[in-house]
Amino acid sequence: MDKLITSIADVWIDGNDIIHKEVHNNAHVDLNSLKVSFKQTLGYTGPEKRLMLYDLRHHFTITDDALDFLQDTIVNSQGIAMAILSNSIAVRIMTDYVINNKNPKVPLKFCSTEAEAAKWLMAFKKINAVA
């Protein structure tokens, strides 16, 4: 499997054309590292919108300005639908905040298992294949 490794995450595309982005354990995500990773990811995946699975199960920290960039730019420009995979209550709260207060332009869901995330994302693949 071909994989992109950035300073903060590993990125790959699975057999269902879902982009996986797994944040490195103990990564510190600041605005610069997030922008660089975002640019590298677009270079790897191409500019078309895709199904996205963000694996946030590892411990990481994120700065406020990086979180704003994630909410305002990445969520709205990169995906058809985006699943957030985590077991962390803090990530669940952050995801709920984005869904309820930032009005993302793409469907966004918190999932606690990879199977749940993949199943939810594949429903959007079927919808887009029909459209």
Domain 4-130 has CATH 3.30.750.24: yes
d(CA 44, CA 2): 10
DSSP characters over 63-112: -HHHHHHIIIIIHHHHEEEEEEE---HHHHHHHHHHHHHS--SS-EEEES
In the prediction, which pLDDT does 130 show? 47
In the prediction, which pLDDT does 78 show? 75
Note the pLDDT tens digit of each residue in 79-125.
899 999 999 999 999 889 888 887 888 999 999 999 999 999 999 98
Note the pLDDT tens digit of each residue in 23-68.
999 999 999 999 999 999 999 998 888 999 999 999 999 999 998 8
Q: 8 φ, ψ to 5°?
A: -120, -10
For the chain, give every domain's residue range: 4-130
pLDDT at residue 127 above 60?
Answer: yes
pLDDT at residue 126 above 80?
Answer: no
